[in-house]
Structure 1
Amino acid sequence: MKLKTIVYADFNSPLCYLAGLWADRRRAEGIETDWRAVEHLPSLSHLGVPNAAAPPALLHELVEAARLPVPEGRDRLPDALPQIISNTQAATAAYAEAVTDGVHDELRRHLLRAIWIENRHLSSAYEVRRIITDITYPRVPIGPYSSSDLPLPVNRDPDLWRAVRRSGGTIAPDGGPLTTIAYRRIRTWREQWRALDRPDLPVLIDERGALHAGQDAVVWLAGQPAPTPVRPLPVPSLL
């Protein structure tokens, strides 16, 4: 069985934003990427922090990211960090739950774009839920119905649990996941990432089991000449 490329990444990392763009490009070319969400700043305030108070490493990362290629037709990174650096606990929990629902790739794209292109603050579980709902329960345009007697379309899903999840109810008000499987998935991803002993994100394990980290991981995803990998590694399994 051919191994997938594995990427450990956080949503408030500019290099991880670029990695996400290139992961989508590679997927369009038939190369699957197993994206695993981790928090590289778990001690960040749950209210987020102004960009003026952001960790210096994050600003340095933005400077590095600005020098790297972007897929044709995709949005480039802004010149500055978002006004508020988001705590990504809720985003990570939502992504872990989305794996169960099969919408994780789309949610990853929406979360990264919301933070880095739309300059949205996603520390709040309620803001993250809005993004989930946009994907799983899209809004119905009311224009065609505003001047007629036709009733608005209604989702008649009889499964209450599924309807709640489609309405964004996959994360708790405190930003944690709702299911045990998602909680274990988050814990396993974090343990696997920490075992690699590479704190600079994204961290990528290629199909040969070789490790790439930081801007080197983005360069590898972009298909550019990359430096010699740090060391070969066994590929951890997905929970």
Structure 2
Amino acid sequence: MAYIVYGDFNCPYSYLASLRVDEFVRRGGSGIEWRAVEHDRRLPLTGTPSGAAQGEWARELGEIAEVSRPGEAVPEAPPPVVSNTGAAVAAYAEALTDGLADEVRREIFRAIWVDGRHVSSPYEIRRIVAELMYPQASALDHRYGPDLVMAVDAGRVASGTERRFGATVSVLGGPLTVTGQRRIERWRAEWQGLTPVVPAVVRPDGAVLPGLSGLGRLAELLPVAAPKPVVTADRELAKVT
């Protein structure tokens, strides 16, 4: 059994968990499965100004700053508007079908916590997914042949022209397929049966580590490299003599 991480795109603790999962994979690790959930499904599609809970945001961001490791760029401020992440969760659930789950998870977190984007709209989420499915092309490539078809990484995208344009969520913000819907429902039921907290890290032995304890376990999977020995002047002198 692998580690399982349940996370919410609006949650700064989940953002830090996502950074640690990416770093674990970058170092060659495997065996961590991310499952996206919504901590609060009642958030309006128009968004909620984050200033309405300024004190709570300050406390949460202060906590993740205290537990962050060197090199982990944790946010210092919340996004201006708190998004309804229903469409984001749907896009992530569908991204598993396309083999783009890690990329979609990473880019949605980046859009919210680095760029401060409001991503409640399914069209905004489609834009994020489309940018992953269609690599950026230089204008020079089409200067002399404007009718040339843009390159598509078709080997990683499930069949269907609409999906290749990022339309993996419906215009109402739900998943495009029954498979995606079932994933969302299963993830939420599993998470609610474990804890009301995000992130929630489930160890291979089934133990649940919510919140900061889960972040701590992910940090343990990333041991700090031993410091390089310091060469003193006495040691250098000994080499000479």
TM-score by length of 1: 0.83
The count of residues paired between Structure 1 and Structure 2 equals: 218
Task: Tell me the equivalent position of 1:237.
Answer: none
* Alpha-carbon distance, 1:119 to partner: 0.9
Task: Tell me the equivalent position of 1:236.
Answer: none
8 Å CA contact 1:107, 1:132 repeated in 2: yes
Flag the structure with larger Rg. 2
2:85 corresponds to 1:88? yes
2:193 corresponds to 1:195? yes
- Helix, strand or coil at the partner of 1:222: helix
Instruction: Give the Cα–Cα distance (whole angstroms) in 1 for the partners of residues 120 and 87 of structure 2.
Output: 7
Structure 2: gaps (5+ residues): 223-241
2:64 corresponds to 1:68? no
* Alpha-carbon distance, 1:152 to partner: 3.2
Task: Tell me the equivalent position of 2:31.
Answer: 32
Instruction: Give the Cα–Cα distance (whole angstroms) in 2 for the partners of residues 55 and 193 of structure 1.
Output: 27
Task: Tell me the equivalent position of 2:233.
Answer: none
In structure 2, relative to structure 1, the CA distance for the partners of 1:56 and 1:92 (3 Å cut) is farther
Identity of aligned residues (%): 41
**Over the residues paired in the alignment, what is the CA RMSD in angstroms?**
2.4
Task: Tell me the equivalent position of 1:175.
Answer: 173
Instruction: Give the Cα–Cα distance (whole angstroms) in 1 for the partners of residues 6 and 31 of structure 2.
Output: 14
- Helix, strand or coil at the partner of 2:75: coil
Task: Tell me the equivalent position of 2:124.
Answer: 127
Q: What letter corresponds to residue 140 of structure 2 in structure 1?
A: G
* Alpha-carbon distance, 1:79 to partner: 1.6
Structure 1: gaps (5+ residues): 226-239
Q: In the TM superposition, what are the counterparts of 1:142-157 in structure 2 within 5 Å?
A: 142-146=139-143, 148-149=144-145, 151-154=147-150
8 Å CA contact 1:142, 1:152 repeated in 2: no
2:3 corresponds to 1:10? no
- Helix, strand or coil at the partner of 2:204: coil
Q: In the TM superposition, what are the counterparts of 1:154-233 in structure 2 within 5 Å?
A: 154=150, 162-196=160-194, 198-223=195-220
8 Å CA contact 2:98, 2:158 repeated in 1: no
Instruction: Give the Cα–Cα distance (whole angstroms) in 2 for the partners of residues 154 and 82 of structure 1.
Output: 33
In structure 2, relative to structure 1, the CA distance for the partners of 1:152 and 1:71 (3 Å cut) is farther
